[in-house]
Amino acid sequence: MTAQLRAAGLGAIADLGCVGHDDSGPDADPVVITCYKAARNKPIWEQKVSNKALAAVRTPVEHGFARLRNWRVLGKIRTDPRWATALVRALLVLTNREVSR
């Protein structure tokens, strides 16, 4: 998977469950970026800042997935995938409008 991301010029921000999935060498740019794991010794402030920045990027995505799970109609979709995509987009618009009130 990382080879395909690298070939497309893309990357991914992931949680700590994906540590070790990036098969790049130490000198290559990472494709899968994860937070630093907690260590017994006190973490360096750079690690804390990095973890905070990655969490700020991941939070809206995680909240979006959580909101989509609340729409029970998505579990009952038995239709053309193009129609399902349009339905999900419409639900996201409604959800964003409701959240931004």
More reliable by pLDDT, 35 or 99: 35
Q: What is d(CA 11, CA 13) in angstroms, rounded to the nearest whole number?
A: 7
Name the helix (H) or strand (E) containing 12. strand 12-13
Q: What is d(CA 50, CA 56) in angstroms, rounded to the nearest whole number?
A: 10
State the first-to-last Cα distance of the chain, in angstroms, to the nearest integer: 39
- Give me the helices (H) in 9-100, please: 45-70, 81-99
Asked if pLDDT for residue 99 goes beyond 70, the answer is no
pLDDT tens for 22-43 read: 766 656 677 777 778 777 777 6
Average pLDDT, the chain: 77
Which amino acid, 67? Answer: R
CB atoms within 10 A of CB 54: 17
Q: What is d(CA 64, CA 88) in angstroms, rounded to the nearest whole number?
A: 11
More reliable by pLDDT, 5 or 25: 5
Asked if pLDDT for residue 100 goes beyond 70, the answer is no
